[in-house]
Structure 1
């Protein structure tokens, strides 16, 4: 297993390599594979880019993102301007049913609510909002109303998820998959946070999934 010192150096190298973030503004500490990011960046999408950049590193078990978003003076916007921009942006995303997502903005923090039928629509709403100037954070509280599964499809759902994991190079034998009434429960282990995220995404992609209970351990 990689040491915390070696992992910290890899995280610093990866942040320096990522062109979307200013690595000089980010502090990094590592304890038992948990990476804590501190400092400040100019936008929420840069904060997200820092998380994404290091999530795939071997040895990263979890990320605590304490980076503060400090918007430049020239892109400061009040809440009603941000809310209007978010609403317009959501209307232009074809993956999201028109009117399905509601928006609340308070001090630059955006809360998304409403109901959609698939996880990719929930994710599309988040991705539409997080790059906007003025946004300091996004809480995605959109719920999923999945299509009803056929009776007796539980075994098929488990097998579909396992095949999806194998196609992406994630050892399915190290994970247990259970499904009941639209809730998929994942347990077992993955080798990295990146593989963990692939497993969770595969569970969400299964037809009829309305909730994923994540009990995976990262070794």
Structure 2
């Protein structure tokens, strides 16, 4: 697939995604790297546009340059955003009460604190990025270590073998003290990469992931 075809496929995928208003999004492609530019009305659409681009076969990298431009330039007060973020986190039964701290500056929300599982961290991020007035979300949340490095590696290796869409023999995994997992190897597409990442983050004790997977 040449860059012209790749660019058109990304444009078509953005238009197909119902959660995105793609009218003001620009797309360029060069050697498999897609650059997204333009404006969207909220941060949720910015992240949705990036996910949509990754779904397109042939995309090897993304330069994310989309900016959030609020309707009518109605930027909201940081204090209001912080309070709404705290409220939505309190309502989320997945996120333990008072475990996540919120800081807001110029519309950018920083989430910190310590959680047991990555899915709790992902749930907190998903809730906050949907809020009106949010320009971006910074993830400073950490995970508590709970098992030994050897156990983590074995659990991940077993999980990869159970995934039909992943060729486990092409993935190399090492676990450092403290729960950081290093992943290397190759996958055929973005969906396979996501499957690998899900398997890694599903293992208890994983606190951080250093991912060096090649797509294609």
1:57 aligned residue = 56
Preserved CA contact (<8 Å) 1:118 1:146: no
Structure 1 81/160 Cα, relative in aligned 2: closer, same or farther at 3 Å? Answer: same
Preserved CA contact (<8 Å) 1:25 1:40: yes
1:42-191 to 2 correspondence within 5 Å? 42-73=41-72, 76-149=75-148, 153=151, 156-164=154-162, 166-167=163-164, 169-181=165-177, 182-191=179-188
Structure 1 87/145 Cα, relative in aligned 2: closer, same or farther at 3 Å? Answer: same
**In 2: Cα distance, 1:107 partner to 1:155 partner:** 40
Structure 1 regions of 5+ residues with no counterpart? Answer: none
- Deviations 1:141-186 (CA, angstroms, capped at 9, x unpaired): 111113223x85356224323224x24x122222112224322211
Preserved CA contact (<8 Å) 2:42 2:135: yes
Tell me the CA shift for residue 58 of structure 1.
Answer: 1.2
The runs of at least 4 aligned residues of structure 1 exceeding 4 Å deviation read none
Matched length? 215
Query: Which of 198, 201, 210 is residue 201 of structure 1 equivalent to?
Result: 198
* Residue 20, structure 1, aligned to residue 19, structure 2: yes
Structure 2 regions of 5+ residues with no counterpart? Answer: none
1:6 aligned residue = 5
**In 2: Cα distance, 1:139 partner to 1:147 partner:** 25
Q: Compute the RMSD of aligned alpha carbons.
A: 1.8
Tell me the CA shift for residue 101 of structure 1.
Answer: 0.7
**In 1: Cα distance, 2:19 partner to 2:205 partner:** 36
Preserved CA contact (<8 Å) 2:174 2:183: yes
Instruction: Please give the TM-score of this superposition, normalised by the length of structure 1.
Output: 0.91
Instruction: Please give the TM-score of this superposition, normalised by the length of structure 2.
Output: 0.92
Query: Which of 201, 208, 211 is residue 214 of structure 1 equivalent to?
Result: 211
Preserved CA contact (<8 Å) 2:36 2:65: yes
